[in-house]
Amino acid sequence: MSYALITGASKGIGKELAVSLAKRKYNLLLVARTEPLLKEIAKELEQTYGVSVQYNAIDLSAADAAEDIIAWCQKGGYDVSVLVNNAGYGLHGAFEKLSLDEQLNMMWLNMSTMVQLTHLALPLLKRHSGKSYILNIASTAAYQAVPYLGVYSATKAFVLSFTRALRQEMKGSNVSVTCLSPGAVETHFMERAGMDKVNKIVKQAKKFEMQPNVVAEFGIKALLSGKAEVIPGVGNKVGAFANRLLPKNAVEGVAKGLYSPEK
Ligand SMILES: NC(=O)c1ccc[n+]([C@@H]2O[C@H](COP(=O)([O-])OP(=O)(O)OC[C@H]3O[C@@H](n4cnc5c(N)ncnc54)[C@H](OP(=O)(O)O)[C@@H]3O)[C@@H](O)[C@H]2O)c1
């Protein structure tokens, strides 16, 4: 069986995407920064599913990280047929108060690394003798501007737009391209974004939160059946659709109230 290369596979949605692909007998190439977690997951998935799991602990926000990952794949001679661009994070707060460096780092990871990895992995995916797949993880935040998550939501709008365009370009090739846009999912996302101490946001998230294994399974089914763009959860789907119909100013005003940093 061929290999699936998954970024951000040490926890959260990425870890569960790895499980969903291992269940389908894909061998795995796992990437994230935390080596002990990757090692543990690799052992667990090899034992449970009898697949081969390799891992690479690397900071994907470094400028040459994507090149290093592809060089690692080439050196190992792995037949890569799936690329999952999942690594990413958000930053919550007023744009002018958040550190500029941190926001630029997030933009690099969420957008540039994804673009670099996709560009560099395409020759490998095309070389695979059967069907190949790219799954990019956006967010329901891709469907509207979100005050106090402004740069994050803009990075996810980029992911969605890029993914749809690439999908069109890949038609007629062996590569199918899919975008998965989750709403709130119970992972380390809120903590890393700095939202886990804002009670009203936590309360709202708890009402709609999905489990990462459910979101991952939904995403992998969509990927392998060649879907263009999917949103897990009926409420999330309705919300994203409603955002297209309602006046932008009203939608953004509601989000501003919800995401304002005041507790
Ligand atoms: N959870 C949500 O509510 C939600 C909603 C919509 C979209 N998403 C998107 O889903 C994706 C996965 O997030 P999650 O919710 O699963 O969050 P998470 O639990 O924080 O997991 C993020 C993953 O990305 C890895 N990562 C973060 N920074 C990295 C870096 N610089 N280099 C390499 N790996 C890095 C983390 O591993 P290490 O820490 O080990 O590096 C971890 O494996 C993200 O793109 C996020 O924007 C999440």
Q: Report the atom number in ligand 1 closest to the C-alpha of 212.
A: 16
Q: Name residues contacting ligand 1 (CB within 6 A).
A: 8-14, 32-34, 37, 59-61, 86-90, 109, 137, 139, 182, 184-185, 187-189, 192
**Cα-to-centroid distance, 189 and ligand 1 (Å):** 6
Say what the pTM is: 0.98
Q: What pLDDT digit, counting tens, does each position of 141-164 carry?
A: 999 999 999 999 999 999 999 999
pLDDT tens column, 117-126: 999 999 999 9
| Residue of 15, 49, 156, 259 marked active site | 156
Stretch 196-209: mean pLDDT: 88
Catalytic hit among 26, 49, 152, 259: 152
**DSSP characters over 63-112:** TTHHHHHHHHHHHHT--EEEEEE-------S-TTTS-HHHHHHHHIIIII
Average pLDDT over residues 35-50: 98
The verdict on whether 11 is a catalytic residue reads: no
Helices (H), the chain: 12-23, 35-49, 65-76, 100-107, 114-127, 150-170, 189-193, 199-208, 212-224, 234-245, 248-259
Give per-residue pLDDT as tens, 63-107: 999 999 999 999 999 999 999 999 999 999 999 999 999 999 999
Residue 156 annotated to the active site: yes
CATH number of the domain at 3-259, please?
3.40.50.720
Asked if the model's pLDDT at residue 263 lies above 70, the reply is no
pLDDT digits (tens, 9 = 90+) for 228-251: 999 999 999 999 999 989 999 999
Residue (of 80, 67, 103) closest to 4 by Cα position: 80
Q: Select from 5, 6, 7, 11 the residue to mutate for testing ligand 1; criterion: most ligand atoms less than 8 Å from CB.
A: 11
